[in-house]
Structure 1
Amino acid sequence: MLGPSEQKSGGRVRRSAVAVAIAGALLASGCSSGNGQGDDELQIVTNPVAATAPVSPAPSVPPAGTVLPSAAVTAIVTDPASRTLAVASGQDVLLYRSDDTAAAPVRVAVDGPVEQLDVSGGQLLATIPAKGEVARIALPAGQVSVLKVAGQPASAVMAGGQTLVAVRDRKAIDVFQGDALVKTITGGLYSADQVLRPGDHTVVLDRLRTAVFSVDVAGGTVGEGLRAGDGATNAVTDSYGRVLVTDTRAGALLAFSADPLLLRQMYPVPGGVYGIAYDAKRSLAWVTLTGRNEVVGFDVRGGEPVEKYRFPTVRQPNSITVDEQTSRVFVGSATGEGIQVIQP
């Protein structure tokens, strides 16, 4: 699906977006049907390595807004329904009140380091790859139940009463009904790193192949795949049925439609783009630049992103989330320099 301005112009988009869509179709029009890496149209190098966040320099200016003390943050997310800010740090998930972050948080102990947090289906899903678990945390009280997963769960999301779990090492999407595994979906993936639900569709991000794939959950198959730049790292869904992806190696923000899966935009974002969050109320995509200790807000309603905000951040701003009700942006430092709160 195109953004509003693209729809109003009768399908005509700015030249850069059109060129990127054509180039994407030419470079990544197909995907390998097997797991072998010998003749893969999506593969960039012989031995692919997943991109990681560039190391941040020492900050040259104070961070914008206020900073809450915290140990190293690995993931951060907000829940607008319960007015909760959830922060993963060490083997704890800290639950702050979004409207009073100065108050002491509820501390929820989990079995290992959390890699990713997602609010989905009215609960917080915390993936713990080292323990083969997804912690399901009720908000705002913090009661925990554990979903056991074979392998290393990297991401989880609810879809129609089922829990979809991206399992990195098994290159699979596991489908759970309650605690019962009902289906495993494989094919063509080198690494299942993030599962997303743009509208009624399912897309998985593969960091090793630096690609995105459509997934037919009902049919149990991995569908077409498209290259996602030179080093895709993180992704979110937006209000227009798209998946927004940070290409950390090439320094770009990518936008893919989900139906059909197609690269619509590639916008240059230099400085070590890595973390990403989306404000649906304002159509703003917020990205962190770990190479510069900055956060940038882009309006993504049109044919290409338009920069609206730019702020200095805490060191190593690997994780970010936004409270749609207040537009406040929360940035987590991966080096233990706090949780930054910015009011644009």
Structure 2
Amino acid sequence: MRLPVAAVATAVLLAGCSSGQPQDELMVTTDPVAATAARSPAPTAEPAGRVLPAEAASAVAVTGSTLAVATDAGVDLYDLAALDKAPRSVALPGPVETLTVDGADLLAAVPTKNQVVRVDTASAATSEVGVQGAPAAATPFADGTIVAVRESKGVAVLTDGTVTKNLSGGLLSADRVFATGDHAVVLDHLRNAVFRLDMAKGSVEEGLRAGEGATNGVVDRFGRVLVVDTRGNSLLAFGLDPLLLRQRYPVPGAPYGIAYDAERDLAWVTLTATNEVVGFDVAGGEPEERFRFPTVGQPNSVAVDPADGRVVVASANGGGVQVIAP
């Protein structure tokens, strides 16, 4: 089933709305609250694959043969080729909200300490960059890094470990940032929209509504940003050149975590209301479900190993880290 898509590429303010209605067409309410993962019920099915004991995880990522799991204490680095071995633990200055792969390194956003930490997965060495305003997510772009800075309501550009530019305009909150080729967008949880970034001008440009409550996203090899609409139970696909909502596909179960396997064109989405992870083939005109597995409880985070297609799901309530071979 494919639902109608939006083709409006500009964000404008509504001049005359009835009393009590949002004055901003991108907003779903006049008193916005960021969408969050659904509170999962106790698991009723045995999780698929193998479950490793672990503390509550806030993010998970795979780079090379390393599986990284972020907890309140830092990041645990597992060897995917030897999961029986104890992980290497890397202490970080505070709880990590997101982990992003940058080659063999990881970018860890630590909003409570106003830092973005780069973790070398080979040596476990770290380097920190101060980014004021609660950095919530970071991703590589061109020769540097761009950072969604929540409380500053903008995007910082890092070059050689220094903030060299700040982009702002029209945001209520900057929570996730995505880049593909020469294009980048920022996801605003409060305004509930994605906004195009003009890196040359140093500005936040037009935006598009992102469902009823978008939370996370990932870039695919077709140059799209796939965004999960947790409140709206949908998977959204945005084209960036120009900024257009190209697909909206129903995904019941409060989708939250998302990862993308570029080798197999599979988007893996966790369902926090049902303790499941679903694999969608996204290479065609609309997503097609290929896999569905029961997971650990509160499956807020997911990652995929592109080498062999293994899927990693991490529990946010201490249920462990699950490794599935589809």
- TM-score, normalised to structure 2's length? 0.95
Quote the residue 1:63 is aligned against. Answer: 47
* Structure 1 or 2: more helix by fraction: 1
Quote the residue 2:18 is aligned against. Answer: none
Quote the residue 2:175 is aligned against. Answer: 193
Shift of 1:180: 2.1
Q: What is the CA deviation profile of residues 74-113 of structure 1, one whole-angstrom value per residue up to 9, with x for unaligned ones?
A: 0000013xx1111101121011112222211110000100
Whether 1:43 and 2:27 are equivalent positions in the alignment is yes
Q: What is the CA deviation profile of residues 26-71 of structure 1, one whole-angstrom value per residue up to 9, with x for unaligned ones?
A: 5x742459xxx97322111101100000000011111000100000
Shift of 1:151: 1.3
- After superposition, residues 306-317 of structure 1 pair within 5 angstroms as 306-317=288-299
Give 4+ residue runs of structure 1 displaced > 3 Å after superposition: none
Q: What is the CA deviation profile of residues 287-342 of structure 1, one whole-angstrom value per residue up to 9, with x for unaligned ones?
A: 00000000000000111100000000000000000001010000000000100000
Quote the residue 1:74 is aligned against. Answer: 58
Give distance in 2, aligned partners of 1:120 and 1:213. Answer: 23
Q: After the TM superposition, which of the residue ranges 99-108 and 297-306 deviates more from structure 2?
A: 99-108
Query: How many residue pairs were aligned?
Result: 320
Whether 1:251 and 2:233 are equivalent positions in the alignment is yes
Task: Say which SS state the counterpart of residue 16 (structure 1) adopts.
Answer: coil
Contact 1:121 1:158 in 2 (8 A): no
Task: Say which SS state the counterpart of residue 197 (structure 1) adopts.
Answer: strand
Quote the residue 1:3 is aligned against. Answer: none
Contact 1:118 1:126 in 2 (8 A): yes
Code of the residue aligned with 1:339 in structure 2: it is V
Work out the percentage of aligned pairs sharing the same amino acid: 55
Question: 2:2 is matched with which residue: 3, 10, 16?
Answer: 16
Contact 1:31 1:226 in 2 (8 A): no
Task: Say which SS state the counterpart of residue 130 (structure 1) adopts.
Answer: helix
Question: 1:320 is matched with which residue: 295, 302, 306?
Answer: 302
Q: After the TM superposition, which of the residue ranges 246-255 and 179-188 deviates more from structure 2?
A: 179-188
Quote the residue 1:154 is aligned against. Answer: 136
Give distance in 2, aligned partners of 1:190 and 1:59. Answer: 36
Contact 1:298 1:308 in 2 (8 A): yes
Code of the residue aligned with 2:283 in structure 1: it is R
Shift of 1:199: 2.4
- Tell me, which stretches of 5 or more residues in structure 2 are unaligned? 15-20
Q: After the TM superposition, which of the residue ranges 197-206 and 260-269 deviates more from structure 2?
A: 197-206
Code of the residue aligned with 1:236 in structure 2: it is V
Give distance in 1, aligned partners of 2:140 and 2:75. Answer: 20
Question: 2:209 is matched with which residue: 212, 219, 227?
Answer: 227
Give distance in 2, aligned partners of 1:267 and 1:158. Answer: 28
Code of the residue aligned with 2:306 in structure 1: it is E
Give distance in 1, aligned partners of 2:264 and 2:149. Answer: 32
Give distance in 1, aligned partners of 2:241 and 2:122. Answer: 35
Q: What is the CA deviation profile of residues 121-179 of structure 1, one whole-angstrom value per residue up to 9, with x for unaligned ones?
A: 54210000000011111122210111111110000112122121110011010112123
Contact 1:254 1:263 in 2 (8 A): yes
Give distance in 1, aligned partners of 2:130 and 2:217. Answer: 24
Give distance in 2, aligned partners of 1:61 and 1:221. Answer: 48
Contact 2:23 2:30 in 1 (8 A): no
Give distance in 2, aligned partners of 1:228 and 1:38. Answer: 15
Contact 2:38 2:273 in 1 (8 A): yes
- TM-score, normalised to structure 1's length? 0.90
Quote the residue 2:17 is aligned against. Answer: none
Give distance in 2, aligned partners of 1:155 and 1:221. Answer: 18
- Tell me, which stretches of 5 or more residues in structure 1 are unaligned? 1-14
Contact 1:196 1:203 in 2 (8 A): yes
Contact 2:254 2:273 in 1 (8 A): yes
Question: 2:11 is matched with which residue: 30, 41, 44?
Answer: 30
Q: After the TM superposition, which of the residue ranges 191-200 and 49-58 deviates more from structure 2?
A: 191-200
